[in-house]
Amino acid sequence: MLTSRIVAGLTAAALAASMLAAVEVSPASAAAGCTYRVVRVKTRLNVRAEPRGRIVDKLYPGDRTWGSCRKAAGAWRRIHGTEIGRRGFSFGHYLKKIGRR
């Protein structure tokens, strides 16, 4: 399980790096966003396609992720998953903001 998480993380990092090289980033969009750490979770935190929607990715206790600083519907946050690297929503109660991107 740990090996598959490491491989998934390396794959997601390589994919993100290749996407960043292809997309031109403006200074305003580079500063937009926050980084979060997963807290108050014992097993995993689901990343959903929409608030209360289908599960598209997972986060594990202590994982770090990034996403929008604004709350989406209610207390939901738009973030990126770490296992597959898909974007989605997670409940904000389980995410601690640790900085800005």
Domain boundaries, the chain: 2-100
pLDDT above 70 for 3: no
Q: Model confidence over 14-46: pLDDT tens digits?
A: 655 554 444 334 444 444 699 999 999 999 999
pLDDT reported for residue 72: 84
Long-range contact pairs involving 20-28 (C-beta distance under 8 Å, separation at least 24): none
- Measured CA to CA, the distance from residue 83 to residue 86 in angstroms comes to 8
Report the CATH number of the 2-100 domain: 2.30.30.40
pTM for this entry: 0.64
Helix, coil or strand: residue 10: helix
CA distances from 33 to 20, 41, 52 (A): 15, 23, 22
In 3D, which of 34, 75, 83 has the Cα closest to residue 55?
Answer: 83
Q: What is the band of 89 on the pLDDT scale with cuts at 50, 70, 90?
A: very high
